[in-house]
Structure 1
Amino acid sequence: MIDFKYLAQKYDTPLYVYDFNHFTQQYNALKNAFKARKSIIAYAVKANSNLSVIRHFANLGSGADCVSIGEVKRALLAGVDKYKIIFSGVGKRDDEIKEAIQKDILMINVESEAELKRVDAIAKELGKVARISIRVNPNIDPKTHPYISTGLHENKFGVDIETAKGMYIFAKKSENLNPVGIHFHIGSQLTELEPIREASEIVANLVRSLKAINVDIKFFDIGGGLGIKYKDEELIKPYDYAQAILSTLSGLDVTIICEPGRFMVGNGGWFLTKVLYEKVNGDKRFVIVDGAMNDLIRPSLYNAYHKIEVLNDNKEISKANIVGPICESGDFFAKDIDVPKTNPGDLIVIHSAGAYGFTMASNYNTRPRAAEVAIEDGNDRLIRRRETFEDLIACEVDYLV
């Protein structure tokens, strides 16, 4: 049991707290689910990019799914094996592609014909061979929030099957490209298995057709997206997930790459914030806290649900909005939820905040970002100090001119 009051007193609020033992359990659950096959679990760095978090997974044997050269550098700095790093993303700059090739990572995941030609040209300039995969868009509805759906033609990600075939033929003919992988990812917070299986079947059949023309795909990258429980979701079990994928791969000798992010860290994180005071406008009650949308934007951005727990013994309960100090009407963590009467200083715990919490934080309203703390085997340690005002202005120049 984590003593949130002790942590808030020791490190102050707003504060992110992560349970590294939970992270280990999630990694092992997924790795064991694929034990019948060669596999790489490549942690999706975007979910929580703290170096200590990445290093924890690296020590377990994890790779890294990266969507910027900055994330690639984080993964390498944290000790991830370069041959377990994938560089994905729709819009890679030339300098990012160049650096990824020079760092000799496992592969660059290409998302368009135009990008493939840039990778080819840059590899030629460097006199190197770039290992690539191509992101295929199987046009499968993932049955998730439209903002985190990625596998339909209306989404910006990947290419269709026929375009992918042409790109693989181009890559095979190039002296500077080595098409070693194929990739698909239909969305995030997935809770239905059948769309995943259908997408895998479509992409596996493409691999078979590619092998027939001597394009030897070695890595079958199934992306990530496994959902977690925020409220009352029915979840996909890792074993069932693995079996659905494996059922589509008969006759194919490929290494499976899985890129979980939220699944690994989401429910192993909490956001702590303190009550400043309460306010009533007419019949509307507001609990005003010291955390804000700049710290945890998911409720504002997606209208996402997070379980909220008030750590006091007050039995007087009524509906309230939990809101922050930022000058936006969208600055809320929850609306019209039943919470006890609070007093200044009461601690509020926001659950399921380990993924897409701190990584999406900003300094809006010149607010320093929160500190981050790791809990492992009952011990706590600071893994990112709280920002200061001096940190916020460190990059600004000529303001006295």
Structure 2
Amino acid sequence: MLSPALLQDAAERFGTPLYVYDAAEIDGALGRVRAAFGDARVFYAMKANSNFTILERLRARGVGFEAVSPGELARVRHLGCAGSEVIVNGPAKTREEYELGQAMGATFVLDRLSEVALVAPGTAVLLRVNPALDVSTHDHLATGAAKSKFGVRLEDVERGVKLAREAGLVVRGLHVHIGSAIREAADFGMAFEKLAKLDVGTIDVLDVGGGWGLDADLSGIASKARQARDALGASELWVEPGRYLVARSGALLTRVVGLKQTGRSFVIVDAGMTELMRPMLYGASHPLLALYAGGTEGVFDLAGPACESGDLLASNVTLPTPSVGDAVAVLEAGAYGAAMSSTYLSRSRPAEVMYDAGAWQVIRRRERPEDVWRAELAEAPTLA
């Protein structure tokens, strides 16, 4: 991650709230994935962060994309991606997604058996398997649990593959994604072993998704994935990292607007749930870095500006006591930070900047108030 001096420089140059990214860290994360998974094809789960500059950087390094919405498909089309570079996934694809994805020649991940009738004969598909596992992550992130909305039940997979082939679809293989922020290789191994026992005939792809925690044992996960690929007789292994590639590259910079004591001690800052939803959405914990030399250390809640009691970026964290105007960096925020930011309370979404080869680049300008309401009016008024 970038040095405190560079983070402070960014806050002073571009203002706060601000998202900053370290291009070298993105490259490093991709290198770690390739070192672990060898010749596996890498498709970036772009929902983690779909900024065009990041997508272009990854594509230049041979990475494809997993798209899960019409907007994401529109982005990869704008990039000029070929169908071989794109996977279309998601539990509720629209007609627009089917039409655009098929026109591109993308590979579709079928999330339920009824999707067989929704794609045209000749379309390349993977069947997503729900391995019905309890894994070590938040319930909202456990996509491979029996109660989740994702994938086809194990007992229905062989029938699903048969139906897809009878409908004229090109069944390339199987897909599994058990959740996000999962650290233990054993969790992934259990899922891969269940797939390896299926009898689905000849396939050429096993797509093992992503969801690896930032400190996960990639080599252990990759070893178990290759064993499952070989057991199924597939020739290709595909992976879909999202958060792993970009989380550590990014930080959210915010400034202190005040301190407050109630039943707890608060540091009130200019960023909150509208800039970084993860802490409120599923209790995510982000490391903090004080970009100031403060006074005596204290235990604080880092609270945002929204009129919501849950608008906390961090709870019970030890920080040097700050002064108004001091900056704090919320680290590991490159994934699901800017991507989930909102205009709730008519707040303008923050700017995004990238540090690359010794220079800053603005990769998304800060919104203005009129940007927020532009679609509501025939002509947005200009502020004086």
Could you say whether these structures have the same fold, taking a TM-score greater than 0.5 normalized by the shorter chain as the test?
yes
Within 5 A, what are the aligned runs for 1:280-299?
280-281=261-262, 283-299=263-279
- 1:246 Cα offset (Å): 1.3
The 1-side partners of 2:251 and 2:90 are apart by: 28
- 1:2-401 residue pairs with structure 2 within 5 A? 2=3, 3-35=6-38, 38-105=39-106, 107-119=107-119, 123=120, 129-175=122-168, 177-206=169-198, 209-211=199-201, 216-228=202-214, 235-250=215-230, 252-281=233-262, 283-397=263-377
State the distance in 2 between where 1:236 and 1:77 align.
33
1:79 deviates by 4.8
Q: CA deviation at 1:237?
A: 2.8
TM-score w.r.t. length of structure 2: 0.94
Q: Secondary structure of the equivalent of 2:348? A: coil
What displacement does 1:81 show?
A: 3.9
On the 8 A contact 2:70/2:96 being kept in 1, the answer is no
Q: What is the alpha-carbon distance in structure 1 between the residues aligned to residue 229 and residue 92 of structure 2?
A: 30
CA distance in 1, matches of 2:155, 2:92: 21
Q: CA deviation at 1:193?
A: 0.8
Deviations 1:82-135 (A, max 9, x none): 302111000011222122111211x1101111222222xxx2xxxx62111110
Distance 2:371 2:58 in 1: 28
Shift of 1:52: 0.6
One-letter identity of the residue aligned with 1:271: L
User: Is the alpha carbon distance of 1:315 and 1:154 closer, same or farther for their aligned partners in structure 2, counting shifts above 3 Å?
Assistant: same
Q: Which amino acid aligns with 1:377?
A: A
- Structure 1 counterpart of 2:203, one-letter code: I
- Give structure 2 stretches of 5+ with no counterpart: none
* Separation in structure 2 between the aligned mates of residue 160 and residue 294 of structure 1, nearest angstrom: 36
Q: 1:397, 1:321 → 2: CA distance? A: 39
Q: Secondary structure at the match of 2:93?
A: coil
The answer to whether the Cα contact below 8 Å between 1:368 and 1:388 also exists between their aligned partners in 2 is yes
The farther-off stretch of 128-137 and 48-57 is: 128-137
Q: What are the ranges of 5 or more consecutive residues in structure 1 without an aligned counterpart?
A: 229-234
Aligned identity (percent) is 33
Provide the C-alpha distance between the structure 2 equivalents of 1:52 and 1:398, rounded to a whole number of angstroms.
30
Cα distance change, pair 80–190 in 1 and its aligned pair in 2 (3 A)? farther
Structure 1 stretch displaced more, 85-94 or 332-341: 332-341
Residues of 1 paired with 2:307 and 2:143: CA distance? 32
Deviation per CA, 1:23-82: give whole Å up to 9, x if none. 1111121122222xx421101100111011111111110011111121122123235443
Please report the RMSD computed on the Cα atoms of aligned residues, expressed in angstroms: 1.7
Partner secondary structure for residue 229 of structure 2: coil
Q: Distance in 2 between matches of 1:55 and 1:41?
A: 14
Contact 2:250 2:331 in 1 (8 A): yes
Kindly indicate whether the alpha-carbon contact (under 8 Å) linking 1:278 and 1:288 is maintained by their aligned counterparts in 2: yes
> Does structure 2 retain, via aligned residues, the 8 Å contact 1:40–1:84?
no
> 2:10 & 2:378 partners in 1: Cα distance?
40
Check 1:81–1:39 CA distance in 2 against 1; reply closer, same or farther (3 A cut): farther
Tell me the TM-score normalized by structure 1. Answer: 0.90
Distance in 1 of aligned mates of 2:364 and 2:237 = 33
Partner of 1:232: none
Amino acid at match of 1:154: K
In the aligned structure 1, how far is the partner of 2:317 from the partner of 2:143?
31
